[in-house]
Amino acid sequence: ENLAAFEQILTISDIRYRAGDIDGGELARMRLATMQVRNELRAKAMQLENARRELALLLGRDPETAPLDIEDQFRSAGSVPALEDLLATAISRRPDIAAAREYEALSTADLHLQQRERRPEFTVGTELRRITNDGNYVGVFFSIPLPIFDRNRGEIGRARAEQLQAQGELRALLAQVQTEMRNGYAKWQLSREVIGSLDGEMLED
């Protein structure tokens, strides 16, 4: 509609120029303004086509064989959860966070296992001895190995390093998700305000 209005004004300006009412500079400025509107319309049409293709891919459809065409009216969104609720939902349901937590739990369990392997095992037992002409004797013994070298120190160090790495990756992923959610929420609020202003001021006219 804007382009049609500019082209109509350009046609009128051309008639006025031929009649001598305006000079050539005014006509050139009108032609340039019409060209800018035409180029902007082409850019917006390309953005619309790209948005349709992305939407089709998100819906699992082939953009070439099953193109989408959106027809709707501007409308305000209903009640939307608070940002903190959306953050909690994202953190509890995103599969990458679940995988990072599983890896962190696995590394912690591996560290505990390696630490238990370092501890010596106790041995408790009993024995029965029969001595001729002297009766029977029952004995109880207790033994514990005394290792000279801690042979599992390397595995404990490896497991502790993996645990620290898993914890760091989990913290970084949580921070990334929170940043993405906050940025997306801010963009949504801005878009909602823009659509609300268009719906309330311009579209009614």
- pTM value is 0.47
* Mean pLDDT, range 53-80, rounded to an integer: 70
Return the amino acid letter for 72.
D
Q: Are 169 and 103 in contact (CB under 8 A)?
A: yes
Categorize the per-residue pLDDT at 20 as very low, low, confident or very high, splitting at 50, 70 and 90: confident
* Mean pLDDT, range 17-39, rounded to an integer: 88
Categorize the per-residue pLDDT at 190 as very low, low, confident or very high, splitting at 50, 70 and 90: confident
Q: Please choose, from the candidates 198, 203, 192, 194, the residue with its C-alpha nearest in 3D space to the C-alpha of residue 80.
A: 192
Residues above pLDDT 70, as percent of the chain: 75
3-state helix, strand, coil in the chain (%, to 5): 65, 10, 25
What single-letter DSSP state applies at residue 151? T
Looking at residue 205, its pLDDT comes to: 44
Categorize the per-residue pLDDT at 62 as very low, low, confident or very high, splitting at 50, 70 and 90: confident
For residue 43, pLDDT over 90 is answered with: yes
The region of weakest confidence among 46-60, 89-103, 112-126, 154-168 is 112-126
The per-residue pLDDT of the chain, averaged, comes to 80
Placement of tokens 């009412």 in the chain: 21
Looking at residue 172, its pLDDT comes to: 92
The H or E element that residue 123 is part of is strand 123-131
